[in-house]
């Protein structure tokens, strides 16, 4: 019996020899994305046309792509988000969609902390000024004592809370599905507005809300303390980027750290603000965590295809 055909569509995959041998023992590798770029929908259609299984990243598995692959049975994602996959189309075809939930917690939490520290200490601004041979002093602030508002207290949000607590930040969280936080000192906000009005730093750690407006919209920013810092390492659709731009312009938001944007790569007006840091959706992309995620994706796929 011929082996099932595998397409590796993720833009970067460290296919070392042990992983390659393990995959080749179960699959015929029919396609590997070696471009270093996220595939477009037409490119993805061509890549998966003959595939029984896929190892995927954040490329768009729309209904068009899924229906172009009549033999497709499993999509194993390197990562945790599912908003790049048309789950209705996948479910309608009986295609399983798997994620690597365990490997992203520490790297995303560390990246979140790095953005917060860079914003409070104004690291990026000092670096840019030095490149221009400008050496003025900017007003930075202590992180200790700043109230950190965490929206979404899953594994990543909880780990961010632990890291910030170690640095002396009181924590307030909003998550209607969590009644008892990991740390009894953390304050539970009974409403989103309570968190928005009480936090000096707001960080997002929840899934994209399908068919819902952005969580942080103009009204939400109006509820925030003046000078708040916003960090989003979750999903770009959670933030109304025009409302954020206006809030930065008015001073309501002092700075923003974004690893995710609605359209990636980002090229809009937020880049005109010195106290905005944008990274290209790389929060989980450390050497150690990337290897762990890829190994988890491989094992998830093999298990699903051999059950």
Portions of the chain given CATH number 3.40.50.720: 5-103+286-306, 105-278
Q: Count the neighbouring beta carbons within 10 Å of the beta carbon of residue 18.
A: 10
Query: What DSSP assignment string belongs to 199-267?
Result: -SEEEE-S---TT---SB-HHHHHHSPTTEEEEE-S-GGGB-HHHHHHHHHHTSEEEEEES--SSSS--
Is 264 part of the annotated catalytic residue set? Answer: yes
CATH no., domain 105-278 = 3.40.50.720
| pLDDT in the model for residue 192 | 98
Report long-range pairs for 57-60 (Cβ below 8 Å, ≥24 apart): 57/9, 57/10, 57/11, 57/12, 58/84, 58/281, 59/9, 59/10, 59/11, 59/84, 60/84
| pLDDT in the model for residue 293 | 87
Residue tagged 């990991």 (tokens):
182
- Catalytically annotated residue among 111, 159, 235, 290: 235
- Catalytically annotated residue among 43, 162, 187, 264: 264
Its pTM stands at 0.82
Is 93 part of the annotated catalytic residue set? Answer: no
| pLDDT in the model for residue 270 | 98
Is 235 part of the annotated catalytic residue set? Answer: yes
Rounded CA separation 27/252 (Å): 54
- Catalytically annotated residue among 111, 205, 281, 290: 281
| pLDDT in the model for residue 20 | 79
CATH 3.40.50.10540 fits 5-103+286-306, yes or no: no
Exposed/middle/buried for 52, CB within 10 Å: 0-12, 13-18, 19+? buried
Per-residue tens of pLDDT for the chain, all 307 residues: 789 999 999 988 876 777 778 899 999 999 999 998 889 999 999 999 999 999 999 899 999 999 999 999 999 999 887 888 999 999 999 999 999 877 889 999 999 999 999 999 999 999 999 999 999 999 999 999 999 999 999 999 999 999 999 999 999 999 999 989 999 999 999 999 999 999 999 999 998 877 789 999 999 999 999 999 999 999 999 999 999 999 999 999 999 999 999 999 999 999 999 999 999 999 988 989 888 888 889 999 999 998 7
């Amino acid at each position: 019996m011929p082996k099932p055909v595998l397409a590796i569509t993720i833009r970067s995959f460290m296919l070392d020899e042990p992983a390659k041998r393990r995959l080749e023992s179960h699959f015929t590798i029919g396609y590997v994305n070696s471009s270093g770029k996220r595939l477009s929908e037409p490119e993805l259609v061509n890549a998966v046309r003959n595939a029984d299984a896929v190892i995927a990243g954040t490329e768009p598995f729309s209904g068009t792509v899924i229906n172009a692959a009549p033999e497709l049975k499993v999509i194993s994602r390197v990562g945790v988000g599912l908003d790049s996959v048309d789950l209705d189309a996948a479910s309608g075809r009986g295609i399983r969609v798997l994620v690597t939930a365990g490997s992203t917690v520490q790297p995303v939490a560390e990246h979140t902390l790095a953005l917060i520290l860079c914003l409070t200490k104004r690291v990026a601004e000092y670096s840019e000024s030095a490149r221009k041979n400008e050496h003025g002093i900017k007003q930075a602030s202590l992180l200790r004592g700043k109230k950190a508002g965490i929206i979404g207290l899953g594994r990543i949000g909880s780990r961010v809370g632990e890291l910030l607590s170690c640095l002396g930040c009181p924590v307030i969280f909003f998550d209607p599905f969590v009644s008892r936080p990991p740390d009894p000192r953390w304050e539970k906000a009974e409403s989103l507005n309570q968190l928005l009005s009480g936090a000096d730093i707001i960080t997002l750690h929840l899934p994209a809300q399908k068919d819902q407006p952005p969580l942080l919209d103009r009204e939400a920013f109006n509820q925030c303390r003046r000078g708040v810092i916003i960090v989003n390492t979750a999903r770009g659709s959670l933030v109304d980027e025009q409302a954020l731009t206006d809030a930065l312009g008015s001073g309501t938001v002092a700075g923003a750290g974004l690893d995710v944007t609605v359209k990636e790569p980002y090229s809009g007006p937020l880049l005109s603000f010195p106290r905005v840091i944008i990274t290209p959706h790389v929060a989980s992309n450390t050497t150690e965590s990337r290897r762990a995620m890829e190994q988890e994706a491989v094992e998830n796929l093999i298990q699903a295809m051999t059950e």
